[in-house]
Structure 1
Amino acid sequence: MKTDQVWRLGMSDMQILPGSRHRPPLKRPMWIIVLLSLLCVFLICAYIYPPQSSSACYVFSSRGCHVLSDWLPPAPARVYTDEEMASRVVIKDILNTSPTHSNSPKVAFMFLSPGSLPFEKLWDKFFQGHEGKFSVYVHASKDKPVHVSHYFVDSDIRSDEVVWGKISMIDAERRLLANALQDPDNQQFVLLSDSCVPLYKFDYIYNYLMFTNISFVDCFKDPGPHGNGRYSDHMLPEIEKKDFRKGAQWFTMKRQHAVIVLADNLYYSKFRDYCKPGLEGRNCIADEHYMPTFFNMIDPGGIANWSVTHVDWSERKWHPKSYKALDVTVKLLKNITSIDVSVHVTSDEKKEVQRWPCLWNGLQRPCYLFARKFNPETMDKLMFLFNNYSAP
C-alpha cells in the first residue's frame, strides 16, 4: 500500500516538473565570418600573384616570402611547347655527355674586331714559345685585317656586318665559336675585342682556364630599366621575366657550353625577334642579355657569374672608360690584377651593389685575366710593361 502511494506520488511529481527548454542555435559573430573570408581571398591571391618585391613579404614574417611558399601548394608545372621540349632534351644530353679530352688541349682566342688588331704585336709577344697550346680566330666586320704577327696569318674567318646592340653581335660570336669548334683540341674559348690586352703571361692564363670546369660568363639580376626593364612579354612562355639576366658579353667558355650555344635556336630566336634597340620603347641590347639569360636557365651552376675581362664602368656612361697612354702605369695594372671580388650595380633607383668573391675551384683568386678599352696609343707602354707581368 505504501509502495503504491509512493509510486503515485512520484508520478504526480513528475507531471508538475517543467518540460525541457528548446535552445536556439548559437549565432557566430558576423565579423569572424568576414575576416575568414578575407583571409582566404588574400591567400589565394598571394598564391596566384606572389609579391614581386622582397619587402612586401616581410609584412608578414621576418623570414620573408619563403614562409608562404613553404606551406602553400606548389604551382602547377607549365606544359612545355614542342620546341622547348626538344631544346631541353638536346641541352640536357650535351651536358650529361662526358667532355671530350685531348692530348694537346688548346685555348681558342677569338677576336671580334672591325678590322686590324692594334695590339697584335703585344699578342705576338704573349704567344711566343707556347705553340701548340693556342689557336687564333679573327672576325673582322668592316675591313680586312693587315697582320703583323705570323700567329695571326690565316686566322681570319668569314665575317659579316656587326651592329652594336643588335643580334648581329651574337651572330658574330656564334660564327667564331663554329669555326673554333672544328678543331677538337680547342677546349676553352675566349672572346676578345680589338681593345683587349692580356694581364698575365701565357702560362698563368692557360692554367687558370684549363684547370677549372666552369665557364666565365657574366650574369647578374638587375631589376632596373637597363636590366629587367628591357624584358619583353613576347619572350613568353619559354623565357620568363624572373629568368632574365644581364652581363658583359666577353666570356670564356668550355667546349660543352660552346656546343650548346651553337645547338640553341629556340632561345636565340626570342632575342633575335624581341631584344633590339627601340623595340616597344625599350633599348634591349642582345649581347648583354642573351648569354647570361640562356646559361642562367640551362646551367646556372656551370658558370662563374663574372667575366675574366676587366672593364671600368665607373664613369656611368653608355660606354666604359677608355685608357690613354698617360693612364697606363704599373699601378693601374696592379690595381686591376689585385681585384678578387666581382661587383655589379643595379640600374634602378636603389643602385644596389652586388658583390661576391671570385672563386676558382673554391679558392678566392684574382678575377681578371684580360682588360679592355685600351686606346692604340698605349701600345708602346704596354709592350714595355709586359716584361714585368707576373702571376700572383
Structure 2
Amino acid sequence: MTKTSGPATLSTRQLNRALLARQLLLERVDMPLTDAVVHLLGLQAQAPRPPYHALAARLRGFDPAALSALLESREVVRLVTLRSTVHLHTPADALTLRPFSAPALERELKIFRARLAGVDLDRLVALTRELAEPGPVSLREIGEELGREWPAHDLLALKVAARIRVPLVQVPPRGLWGRGGQVMHATVGSWLGEEAAERAGADPDAGRLVLRYLAAFGPASVRDMQAWCGVTRLRPYFEDLRPRLRTFRDEGGTELFDLPDAPRPAADTPAPARFLGEFDNLTLGHADRTRVVSDEFRRRGYRRDRAFGSFLVDGFVRGLWRVTQDDGTATMHLETFAPLTRGERPEAEAEAAGVLEMLAPGSRQELRTAEARG
C-alpha cells in the first residue's frame, strides 16, 4: 500500500518570509497608493501617523502629501472596521469591510447592553444620522444630543452604540500629514455619496475576502484570519474554498491555507530593516504572531500604556521606536529587545534616518539606543 504524505510543514522563518513578501516588506515596490491600500486590506489608523509609516516602509519614493491628498479628495477614508478599530480604506473596501466587521462590532456593543436598557436603538440610529449626515460632528456632540433624549443613561454607552450602529467616517483634517484636528465625523453615505449609502449595508462576499486575506497575510489558519478581522465562524468559507487552496502545517501542527501561486520565499531570503507605525497589521494579522514577533518580545512590547512603533531586523520585530523633537533636533529613540549586531546596525540606522527625515525634514538628527526593560 502506498502511503500518502500529508501537507508540507513550513518553519517559522518560512512563514516569516512569506508574510514579508505579501506585505511588500522584502523590498520596496513601485505601486499606486490606492493599490497598496487595497492589497493590504486597509491600514491600521487608530492614530493619524501609522498609515504613513506603513506605506513609507513598503513603497519606493513614498510622499506623505500624496496620501493626505487622497484623504481630502475622498479616495481613501478612515472609519471603524477590522477588530472594531479605525482603519484607512478605499471607499469600495470601506463599504465591504464595514458590514463584514459588523459581528465584531456587535460583540463590543454587548458589553454595554445593561447600560443601554430602555434605549430604543432604532431611534438612536435615526438621531445619530440626523446629526452626522450634514456633518461634520464630533462624537462628543452626538453623545450630548443622545443624552438629552435619554438623560438617565450613560453617555459613553450611548456614544459607543452610535459609533457601532452608524458607519461614521473620520473626516479631514483628522489624519492629514502635519496637521492636527479634532476627530469629526460624517456618515459614510453623506461623505461618499448616495450610492455608497445604499451599498453600506450590503452583504460582503466573505469567500472573496478569505482569498484577499491570504494574498496579503498567508499562509494562515482560520484562527489567524479571525484574529485579523475580529469576526468569528469563518471556517465554512475556508472549507468551501479548500479545493482551490493549498494546505500546509506550521511547526506546531496547525493547518494553514494558502493561494497555490502565492510567493513563499526561502527561509534564508534576506529581509531588510523596516520601521513600522503603531499597531501595524503585520504584527496583528494572526492569532499566532510568532512568525513576526516572539512571544517574549510581544509581552515586553505590547503591554504598555503608550503606543510605540516597532522595527524589524532580519524580518522579525527587534524593538520599539519613538521620535522626540526639541530645539531643531529630531531624536529617534530605539528600545531593542536584543542588541543589534555590528552587521545589523548600519541598515537599521539608515532606515531610522529615513523616518526622521520624513517626520522632521531638515532637522538635526540623533539616534539613541537602549535595551527595552522586561
- Check whether TM > 0.5: no
Q: Give the greater-gyration-radius structure (CA).
A: 1
Structure-1-length-normalised TM-score? 0.26
